[in-house]
Structure 1
Amino acid sequence: MKNPFKLYPIRTVFFFAVVSLIVLLLTLFVLVSYKVSVAEMQKNTSFYQQNLLGKINEQISMQKQSVEQVTIAMSRNEDLQDYLQSENDPYESLRAISEINTSFFNTMFSIPIIDTVDVYVEDPPVRYQEGPIRYFPFDHYESIEWMQPLKNADSAWLEQHVISSPQGDISVVSFARKVYKRNGTAAGIIVVNTKTDRFLRLMDGEVDSRHRLLVDAKHNIITYNGSGDALASLKVFDQLSEEDKINTNVNGSARQDETLVVWSKLVNSEWILIEVTPWEDIISGSVKLAQLLLLISGITIVVTVFLTYYLSRQFTRPIEDLLRSMNDFSLNEHEPKLPAGYRNEFGALFRGYFNLNTRIKGLYTNLEEEYQEKKKAELAALQANINPHFLYNTLDQLNWMAIEEGQEKISRVLELMGRMFRIGLSKGETFITLKEELTHLESYLQIQQIRLEGGLHYQIFIPEKYVHYYIPKLTLQPFIENAVIHGFRGQEKAVIAIKIHDAGNSLCIVIQDNGIGFSKETAVEKRTADGGYGIKNVEDRLLAYFGSSSSITIDSKPGAGTTVFIKIPKKSRK
């Protein structure tokens, strides 16, 4: 993947990087806030509902126990037992029923939750099938659906059902208990009916979409409140139980599908009080919080976009100004057009560019001056080349004249000088082979031999493998010329030896003579009187061509001759 910092403008990268970072952080903030808020809402709702169900639990348990205790007292009523045990005449039966009703009335009035009492006996009085205390045949209960839980039990709470009353049909929750004779035979049933709204008052305080259910051990609904389908809410609780996700023997809460289920088991009872709340009610506050955070985040992002755009322009405008100034650079422009007032890194960058601009113009001026000087030098060199060619042609003509006059020595000198001029010209080349340099040097030595009439002897020991290397032309001749002119004064026999040996990546040329030598304090002439190249000139040229890789060392003592060591890097090509 390519680095965007190398592909796109800095302003674009900076803008999108900052905006993306802010969007990412705000998104994470909203999501985390929403998750934490939902978790806290679930926790707080469960805690609140658990406490509320606990209080309702206590009240229902008290009322439930009161009803159960009343049925025990009723089942043990002496008048009822006598009525069930004996076969009285109609008058006695009516009197017994009257006593039973009086006792039951007193009990009902002492417990307001009781609405009516149904008594099932084998021979019920016909006249008492209406009113708060009613009598029905004992064997009828088996055909009543809502009394089926009593078939295999001595007592049971019956699910919510509808009964007839003087006020019309009413919804009740009933507790039924079998009444046994003294011999242990079931002879009757007492059913205490409590209006459903009495339990609903205890379970009051619901939200419209919330359900509170009171179920028995088998999860049969005893009563419920709230709008909607109570069976659907009970189904959610049943799913939790079947999947073993909850323990209904202890109070607790759990999330199932899109609901929160909180339950509380009644004290000393198998009844369970359940509250089922839609999940959307739980998270409604969190959703509002998330919406508010999203609104704030949106406003923050818009502000960030404008602020980032403004900052990116402020940061990149100086760079753009610098680039524009660089693109508009002209040598004819006096000063670059750059913004002023920057005292930070941009200011340092502008000052650096200004100094660089000034330096470039100065260098250009120097180069222009050098170019003009070079043009003058080239013209001078062309003019100078005319003179050697003229001299070379003139020497050739003089040579033929000397031959015609029989002047062999003069002819030989002229021939050697012509050879020297030809090598000196070298078609304008700066470097020549060592072989050509030695030919030039030997021509000079032969001229000096003719001049000194045998007083000069020379030896050249150059292996053939070195003659193809290139060296600057006229490197050796100034040292030989200096020895001939200054080194052999007063000597009858002068000897010069030239040797060469390998020095790794360099050649070491040794020039040795048996002249008078000189002390270290004696200055060596830099240029000969006849205008030839001096030793100083050679040193300067070697330093210019090779730098510190080349060197010239002169070892001389008065009366012991002079030895010159010239070190030149090997150069196989021009």
Structure 2
Amino acid sequence: MRFVVPKIKHLNMRMTLYFSLVMMTALIVMVISISRTYSGKLISEMNVIVDQKLNLITSTLDNTLQQIKALQFTIIHDRNINTLMKMQNAGGEKLNQTNMDELQQCFLQYKQRNTNVSSIFAISLDGKIIDPLYSGKVFQWIVTNSPYLDTLKKSKSLGLFSSPNSFPLSAPNPKSFENYNITYYGQYYDYISYECLGYIAINLKKNSIFSDLNSLCKETFDFSCFVDDQNNIVHIFGDNYSSSFLGIQEIRKAKKQIVNIDGNNYLLYSQKINAYPGWTFIGLVNYQQITSNMFKLYKTVSMISILVLLLIIFLSFYIASRVTIPIRKLSKSMDSLGKGIWPKEIECHTNDEIKELVIGFNNLVQNIKNLTEKIVEEQEAKKKIEVSIVQFQLDLLQSQINPHFIHNTLNTMNYMAKKAGLAELEETITSFNALLRTSISPNKNFITVVEEIDNLKNYMNIQKHRYDIDIDFEWAIDPEAKYALLPKLILQPLVENALFHGIVPKKGGLIKVSVQKEDNELNLTVGDNGAGMEEDVLNLILQGMGPDKKGFNSMGLSNVNERLALYYSEQSKLKILSTPGHGTKITFHIPFRM
């Protein structure tokens, strides 16, 4: 069967494919070269880092061992100890109990000054412990069974460190955790004649000697330890180690840097201790960890190469494309549309997929524009309907009672009061009739400022007869604002609020109305010097839920706000400042109209 290679129709796609293949080949060659170079440098740099830490480990232990040797020389130059050791080796009687106690106290002082030391005692030339505490047979094994003391006697060395032991406990086959002591055997000689007077045993806390190295060894090596010349393990860092690691003799014989243990490869590092060449540090680093780091590098470089290749493909496609200009126009138009600006129709002179996209976008913009205009028209029509409904409701409320019947009834009552000689009643009925005439007039929603003040006079006239208290009512009108138009009875609820919440509770006071023209606005103020209101009471009144007071309409201020918002805007709503005990001041402003 013949395999047919599919043809790529578009030139920009072919250019993109050819260029991408060339770049992909170059990237593969570069990745391989970088990876091989880096792997060699990684091992080399790791050796440098490990060698630095290895030097730090050995130098730290060098300092500790030098301190122990320095302690030996300090004890040698101690005159009291030197004198007692000479007495021990002199002919005649040996040291008595008092002398031994004195020697013990001298050693105890040095022990207390060194945290690494657990005990110090002297050993005679014939191998006897010179110490009242450790002279018993139970402790003698540290001298009689110690090959290190015998070696020290035969050699010219000034001191030797033993392998870990369980001193002062005597265990026939101690476990590793019981060997918590290392004994330093040192010669004791006359610091003047250099004659050997005996030996000293400095017992050291093993964990204390190596405690400063624990964290450094654990973070650098997978396995690490100190061994002596007899391949005895002096100290192992960490508790989790394989038994195969304990083949120290085989590990030390390995001549290669890489050793195989339990099927795993390890990098071997070792170094002798300068302060005591009889000890060697051995450290193993898992080689698989290094290779895993290199694998992570390969993976990272590969991912970066793939991203770079994708970027190259995109850039080559973008450069080879002939549709850059239409796409930019389309992007600019979409940005304008997102900002709420209707873009102009995009022109496209190509005959590819971009032209179809541009045509589709143009149709989409036109459809959105038509839909938006339709929504605006519907909202305007809806607003007109809502205004008509409100107007209808107001007209309905005003026309619920026949105005002519009310006026005729009030005129009859006025005549009867006049006939009976009741002047105050006659005045009250006249004021109420005038106020009611303004309230229920169906074809007059706006009145002049002068007419509104007259309505307030009639209202206050009625209230003065109702309450037997001293009520003063004043008004101040800008001459230019006398015939300005405002919604009828817009001030009456404010005066009513001042009366019932300010003047009546205080048993008298002043209500003052001010109307001033400023630029193209009419500023109106209703103030009183009455009782004032707390903020919570004021909020309830504004919501139409004020305290229930006989003869007071708690919906007044709320309705005034709604009427102002309906006739003008939200900016015309009431602004109220009230101070308990000092009064209340209500202000609002509306456009100036004649």
TM-score range, shorter chain: 0.3 to 0.5
Larger radius of gyration: 1
Q: TM-score, normalised by structure 2?
A: 0.39
Give the structure-1-normalised TM-score: 0.40
